[in-house]
Every structure is written in C-alpha cells, then in structure tokens.
Amino acid sequence: MLPIRTMKIYTKTGDKGTSATFTGERRPKDDIIFQSLGATDELSSALGLAAEFVREADLPLVDQLEQIQCILQDVGSNIATPYSSARQSHIRKTSFSSDYVIKLEEWIDEMTAELPPLTKFILPSGGKSASTLHLARSICRRAERSITPLTRDDEIDPEVQKFINRLSDYLFTVARFAAMKEGREERIYHRVEQLTNS
C-alpha cells in the first residue's frame, strides 16, 4: 500500500511577494491575475455563506449555488493560465465551456417567470438568504471589473468574462427569488430628503 502524501499549507514560495501562475510564471501578488483570482475566490466564499442561509430556509437553490462554486474553480484555472505564457497543453487543461452561460440563462428565465415585474429600484434586502446573495452579486461585479483587462489583452478565454457577467444577472434574480419564496419584503429605493432620528 502506497503511503498517503499530505500537502503542506505553507510553502514559503510567496514570502517575497510573488506567486506562480499555472504556467509556472512568477508575478507580483498584486498583479491583475492574482487580483482577479482573489475576487473570484471571495465570490465563491460569499456564495458558500449564501448557500448556508438558503439551506436553512429550505429553498431549492443549494444545488445551483454549489454548481456555480465548482464552475468558479474552473474560472480560476483559466485566469491562472495567461495565454501569453501558456502552452497548448495548459490551454487544453483549463478550457472553459460556453455551456455554463447557457445554463445560467436557463435558470434566470425559469425564476423570472415566477417573479413579479420589477418596476422600481430595490435595495439589497429581503431576508438573510436574499441579502447575502445580493452581497455575492456586488462581489461578482468587482470580479468582472478585474477580469475585463485580461479579456481585453487576450490573456483568458472570453467565455470567462461572459460567464461572470451573466452570473451577476443570475445573482440579482436569485436574490429576488429567495426573498419571494421566503415571503420577505424587498426594500424599495426612495429619495431621502433629510435624515431623521427615527
């Protein structure tokens, strides 16, 4: 029987402020590659928190959220493989499917068919499930902003950008859907003329 190998949590290779991409290239930790990876990692963490509230509320959304977290791992693999230093073998291993965008659109359409029409701006609200999904949506927008330069410079698959863009639409829709299913009220934007103590 072969011995079980365990991975060390710390490697010390990043102590000088650099990290390695999947292609083996070392870049500063504040490089746009690692900013994008950090934003998508933060997004996945926010989705994990939202999924816990969704699970507690017994909403039929946990499977979708967990699938999205898995796809975000693939997003990260693609981002970590900049085309400027990638070989064909790297690109094959980290290819990204357009099917993911299509699936998000199907989920959005299914939920939208049940939702009341959106006639006013809403605030992030509607209970814990909905509010954490709104939080994930805003992090998703930041991830998209960080990914945009990589797409523009042809460093990553453009399908990654499409997926992240569509994911923010999904998260807005699923937040509203969660609020509706829990019978929670969505707070509506109104212009505040003056602050009050109440």
Q: What is the CATH number of the domain that holds 44?
A: 1.20.1200.10
Bridge partners, residue 19, by sequence? 27
Residues 6+ apart with CB under 8 A from 8: none
- Taking residues 86-104, what's their average pLDDT? 81
Question: Based on the structure, what is the number of domains in the chain?
Answer: 1
3-state SS, residue 20:
strand
Q: Is residue 12 one of the residues assigned to a domain?
A: no
Predicted confidence at residue 80, as pLDDT, reads 87
Predicted confidence at residue 194, as pLDDT, reads 77
Q: Is residue 154 one of the residues assigned to a domain?
A: yes
Q: How far apart are CA 107 and CA 100, in angstroms?
A: 11
Q: Is residue 18 one of the residues assigned to a domain?
A: no
Q: Is residue 41 one of the residues assigned to a domain?
A: yes
pLDDT at 88 over 70: yes
Q: Mean pLDDT across the chain, nearest whole number? A: 89
Q: How confident is the model at residue 42 (pLDDT cuts 50, 70, 90)?
A: very high
Predicted confidence at residue 139, as pLDDT, reads 98
- Taking residues 1-9, what's their average pLDDT? 69
Bridge partners, residue 122, by sequence? 188
